[in-house]
Every structure is written in structure tokens, then in C-alpha cells.
Amino acid sequence: MKYALITGGSRGIGAAAARLFARRGWGVAVGYCRSEDRALALADELSGLGVPAMAVQADVADEGQVGRMVDNVLEKFCQLDILLCSAGVSHVGLISQIDGDEWRRLFAVNVDGVHHCCRAVLPHMLGRKSGSIVTVSSMWGQVGASCEAAYSATKGAVIAYTKALAKELGPSNIRVNCVAPGVIDTEMNAHLSPDDLAALAEETPLGRIGTAEEAAAAAAFLASDEASFLTGQVVCPNGGLVV
């Protein structure tokens, strides 16, 4: 059996991935920051599928909390095969309107959070010479978005970090890949009006926005043995909006 830790696992792409991983028979640790009730309910749901499941709390921006989260997962599961870094925050607004605290929080969660999680799991994965890490970026990390410069910068950093870490860890048989979704129907995009969503769907070659399940499927593929010769790659479930 494989065991996965999913940060940001209580909602959105993370929750969809948790359900998909569990249906594949993998044990799942649902990482969350504040949504304890949702994380506990999801862990119970996954346990009902007959797989080991747990909810574990940490603010990924805090390195100490992340270390304790990983220790808790390893104490229960004894091994960790997959890390999915799905925790993230967004910001929409002119670059002139974002203050220093908002800027630093974006980078603390979206970039430092990925680094903290990778650093925390690596001693275990290096010891086993095995593991799969999947980060979650965004198509805006590839091409940038007006009024989302800070968010785009964090997601571009995640892509660069993924590619560099893949080269560093490849000799240890640890794969590192990235999912860069397009417009996905999650709470993170709840600020978009129906008209905005319709316009984005019209711009997308496939004519619609994506689902959390579709983005999760890309992450599950990269985490699986089916992708055993893929590392340092960015898979882009975006309906063709960015190519």
C-alpha cells in the first residue's frame, strides 16, 4: 500500500485528490490549516472506503508546524510515498494595492510552504530512496495574469523549484513534478462572477472551465507508478487556454 500526505486536503483540488487516492487504495493524510471539521469529515469518508486515513493540522508557512505534521503522519502510517503540495492562497488586485504583509503571506504559503513540506519529507524519502512529490502551480505561473502579479510570481517560483528539485533528487529515485491547472471550479475562484466564468470558458478551447477532479487526476497520474519515468515536468490541465 502507498501512503500520501496532501496539504490543502480539506477542499478543492486537494480534497478531490484525497478521494481519488483513497479509491486507488492508498492511505491518505488530509492536511489542513483551519478547516478542521471538513478535514475530519473527509478523513472519516476515506476510512469508509477501507483505507487508512487521518486529518493532520499545520500552517505550511510555519516550518515547525510542518515538521510536526510530517512526524504525526509517519507515526501513524510508518511510511510516506507521496507528497502533494496543494495548499495555497490567492490574491486579486493591482500590484500597487497589495501591501507588504499580503505579499509576504502569499510567498510564505505558496512558496515557503512547498519548501517546508519537501524538506520535512525528504529525510524519510531519501532513506528509502523512493518517493513522489507533486506540487501545484497555476497556468498564471507560466504566463502571468494581470491583477494577479503577486500570485503569478509565487506560482512561477513553484515551477522553478519543482524543476530544480527534480534534478537534485533524481539520483535518489525521488520524482518531483508539477500540476499547473487552468481555471478550475473551486472555492479559490469563488470571487469570479458568473459572467467572468462564462468569459473564461469561452476563451478556453474546450469551451468550459475545469473541475477539481480533473486537476486531481493529473496529480494522481504524476504520483503513480504509471509516471515512473517522469520528473521535472509540468502537466497543465487547462483546457488549452495556455499552451
HSE-CB at 136 with a 13 A cutoff on CA atoms is: 32
236, 7, 5, 239: which is closest to 109 by C-alpha?
Answer: 7
HSE-CB at 138 with a 13 A cutoff on CA atoms is: 26
CB 60 within 8 A of CB 73: no
**d(C-alpha 93, C-alpha 72), whole Å:** 38
User: In 181-231, which ranges are continuous DSSP H helix?
Assistant: 194-203, 212-223
Active site residue 3: no
HSE-CB at 208 with a 13 A cutoff on CA atoms is: 4
In this structure, the chain runs to a length of: 243
Name beta bridge partners: 234: 178
Which residue in 3, 32, 151, 161 is the catalytic one?
A: 151
Residues annotated catalytic, as ranges: 151
